[in-house]
Structure 1
């Protein structure tokens, strides 16, 4: 330590001799900062854009409108003028009679965990996980998904890099680490790591920010508050058994009601809410009694539970878990059996959600299954077997945008999402397709999405 101090002293003396205090402070000065006299001239504001000759699905209504244009100023929609109105100073983009619709929203996404197998995600260098996530973020945007609600994982840095324009990707509503009880759906430890002493180190998944284990109200409060400190827009609590986790039975109820209430209270103190992973009636009902605002999955819900969800105004975030070619790949036979049980309940879940009028969002929960990423749009389109196409499209745009508002003051994007109307963010797709008939056009985004705009910026335009 004395030798290090002598080196520091010599270096400081040298800097003072060569350049005085300015040289000493130079390494710590913001390289981008310039004296006001040297600041570059302020760039002129970009010209407004006017999208014309289109058929409009606005994400809020159940119909297609014609005879309107979309005027964009900066990163927001300024107006929906009549189609024949003079463009003025705006740059005109002729959409050739194609469909204009809001950017898609995946309300249950794992931005840092979707592109890697579980064995890699749990063992790779954290830097590698983030690099893979950054590459996938751009592909997600190019599939037409301009916003995702992240349901667990270390997505804070990825979100920041996207927001600052360092990389391309969708807007991210991050939950941070999934919070689980010991033996719960977010406990990824090996059997050899059990038991854990009170002073033992965190597991690899916890150190990476993928999940955090909490037992007891005090520990739940700590872990929730940590995620809020890091910038979570909502909190994810594991309230029941899962499919991918090797230890917890699907019918297990996780966290006591008091523990769940502690997490809900901590989130509410920051003006936001709790989303809960849970499948079974008993677990769903406990989560609702504790104050959770969004039920993630819930595919095994019965009528009594769905009535409770509707009566309490709780959101139901459903995923197309149909045990088909798009399902997450499960190597473990026990996980495959749980996956089949969930699939058997999925069709009934969609029917109950519509019958009782539960506020419903759509997401995919593609997790540890990179091969399934190409099916992103197809996992929405195939649900027309349960929903009218326009109703389904509204679920993945305007409805999911309404769910995002539950973050209140923790909402990182305060203007409207999922809709095309004045004041909303300019997240717009121009597509070859007719959503009054089907959503099949979403299954091949490379061919059918002719223009992709996020935040008023065009990321793709292949229209002639």
Structure 2
């Protein structure tokens, strides 16, 4: 029995045309379309037993006593300090006292753009770009990031291919196109694509699903609903200037409160939330006043605004954006100037977040840079400049899993993520070493992540047998 929404798009379209889709949403049923079989990833049979492991559960600052962890299907079935009997269908992994922890979660990633240089992105054949994104998706998973929150780009097809088992990669919480005002941080149009005319052709970045331009509450509502229709789990808006966009200063405030609120209302109608790109206090406050639940970046924030975030329970997706000579050299001169402004505020942002106990999650936010993307784990390790290894790992596991649940009834992966506990989804890493003592272990996943499991399936196993 299958849900028609998980079929190939062509099959689902046929189901809609034949009047099946309404019933498919309400009930599971068999659809027999000759020559078109649904591509559904099978649930793994059997089980995996991790013996003699110390567990970092995604919440506690301490490791567990030596324990055994049983995974059956895609669920953590049992955790015990006592013996767990291994039946005939159970594969046994000898942990030998190593650390078992949740798969890492990156709360701010761009699967379509992180590892593709911007000139290539704007000039290459789209099918080539999607192949690059699929290749990078496997690399993300092999770095131990079993889930990403994708904050802009055409990844709906990539997500479907990963979920169906066609290509390896992380779970993806997609935003779809970044919604931007004209001249906003998501306005990557070529000069020859201006001026914009009502009813005129879409720009290249809009056609490819990278961005969506909107300049009124009604247009914002329309673009938000389009992303929800395509499968977005949350909506991303640009509320202020950015580093990588050439036509807006960091200090610029983007979208009116009414425009932001239109997106918030559209998302709330689907049980989910809006996250915004913003650096300055003015941009952050306007977003909060409009009902936004997650702020991304905010390196230039002031203490009064951080207090407001704490009082209202706003989530802060904060990135350790600091000067890196190699990455900096690959930026355009305009981006370099704006990046220095952001770098100058990073340390203060982390200190204010800790001082006021704002709910903070980790994100790397790499754009257009394959070299930086390959060091995704290194960005997480940088957090020890401002917090303990346990706090840093919690911000990339249990805390982020809690934030992802804000997507409500359209959550693409209902269940507990980012934790090692009974009943949680089985996304697990077996680490050679103790990351609560040395977080730099996550910077070298090839060496230190011996097992990478996502959804109960082992994608890497280098444990000696």
* Common fold by TM > 0.5: yes
Match of 1:36 in 2: none
Q: Choose from 27, 35, 38 the match for 1:30.
A: 35
Alignment length (residue pairs)? 429
Match of 2:93 in 1: 93
Give the Cα–Cα distance (whole angstroms) in 2 for the partners of residues 342 and 45 of structure 1. 45
Q: In the TM superposition, what is the alpha-carbon distance from 1:326 to its structure 2 partner?
A: 7.0
Contact residue 65 and residue 81 of structure 2 kept, 8 A:
no
Contact residue 115 and residue 370 of structure 2 kept, 8 A:
yes
Give the Cα–Cα distance (whole angstroms) in 2 for the partners of residues 325 and 442 of structure 1. 21
CA deviations on 1:127-155 (whole Å, 9 max, x unpaired) are: 11111000000011001000000000001
Match of 1:60 in 2: 59
Give the Cα–Cα distance (whole angstroms) in 2 for the partners of residues 63 and 352 of structure 1. 25
Match of 2:235 in 1: 235
Give the Cα–Cα distance (whole angstroms) in 1 for the partners of residues 43 and 243 of structure 2. 53
Give the Cα–Cα distance (whole angstroms) in 1 for the partners of residues 43 and 208 of structure 2. 43
Give the Cα–Cα distance (whole angstroms) in 1 for the partners of residues 329 and 251 of structure 2. 21
| 1:74 correspondence with 2:67 | no
Q: Are the structure 2 counterparts of residues 181 and 381 from structure 1 closer, same or farther at C-alpha, using a change threshold of 3 Å?
A: same
Give the Cα–Cα distance (whole angstroms) in 1 for the partners of residues 340 and 60 of structure 2. 35
Give the Cα–Cα distance (whole angstroms) in 2 for the partners of residues 393 and 192 of structure 1. 46
Superposed counterparts of 1:402-421, under 5 Å: 402-421=402-421
CA deviations on 1:131-188 (whole Å, 9 max, x unpaired) are: 1000000011001000000000001000000000000000000000000000000000
Q: Are the structure 2 counterparts of residues 420 and 240 from structure 1 closer, same or farther at C-alpha, using a change threshold of 3 Å?
A: same
Q: Are the structure 2 counterparts of residues 357 and 407 from structure 1 closer, same or farther at C-alpha, using a change threshold of 3 Å?
A: same
Contact residue 178 and residue 211 of structure 2 kept, 8 A:
yes
Structure 1 gap segments, 5+ residues each:
1-27, 34-42
Give the Cα–Cα distance (whole angstroms) in 2 for the partners of residues 161 and 276 of structure 1. 27
Q: In the TM superposition, what is the alpha-carbon distance from 1:296 to its structure 2 partner?
A: 0.5
Partner SS state of residue 283, structure 1: helix
Give the Cα–Cα distance (whole angstroms) in 1 for the partners of residues 360 and 247 of structure 2. 30
| 1:440 correspondence with 2:440 | yes
Normalising by structure 2, report the TM-score.
0.90
| 1:140 correspondence with 2:145 | no
Q: Are the structure 2 counterparts of residues 351 and 45 from structure 1 closer, same or farther at C-alpha, using a change threshold of 3 Å?
A: closer
CA deviations on 1:65-94 (whole Å, 9 max, x unpaired) are: 123211111011001022434334433211
CA deviations on 1:378-403 (whole Å, 9 max, x unpaired) are: 11112101111111111110011111
Give the Cα–Cα distance (whole angstroms) in 2 for the partners of residues 241 and 163 of structure 1. 34
CA deviations on 1:263-322 (whole Å, 9 max, x unpaired) are: 100000111000000000000000000011110100000001100111110000001110
Over aligned residue pairs, what C-alpha RMSD do you find?
1.7
Match of 2:428 in 1: 428
Contact residue 101 and residue 429 of structure 1 kept, 8 A:
yes
Q: Are the structure 2 counterparts of residues 119 and 44 from structure 1 closer, same or farther at C-alpha, using a change threshold of 3 Å?
A: closer
Partner SS state of residue 106, structure 1: strand
Give the Cα–Cα distance (whole angstroms) in 2 for the partners of residues 85 and 189 of structure 1. 59
Q: In the TM superposition, what is the alpha-carbon distance from 1:44 to its structure 2 partner?
A: 11
Give the Cα–Cα distance (whole angstroms) in 1 for the partners of residues 92 and 155 of structure 2. 36
Q: In the TM superposition, what is the alpha-carbon distance from 1:55 to its structure 2 partner?
A: 1.1
Structure 2 gap segments, 5+ residues each:
1-32
Contact residue 162 and residue 168 of structure 2 kept, 8 A:
yes
Match of 2:245 in 1: 245
Contact residue 50 and residue 71 of structure 1 kept, 8 A:
yes
Give the Cα–Cα distance (whole angstroms) in 1 for the partners of residues 257 and 191 of structure 2. 27
Partner SS state of residue 69, structure 1: strand
Match of 1:254 in 2: 254
Partner SS state of residue 263, structure 1: helix
Give the Cα–Cα distance (whole angstroms) in 2 for the partners of residues 119 and 377 of structure 1. 26
Match of 1:160 in 2: 160
Superposed counterparts of 1:336-347, under 5 Å: 336-347=336-347
Say which one has the larger Rg: 1
Match of 2:18 in 1: none
Give the Cα–Cα distance (whole angstroms) in 2 for the partners of residues 445 and 45 of structure 1. 25
Partner SS state of residue 107, structure 1: strand
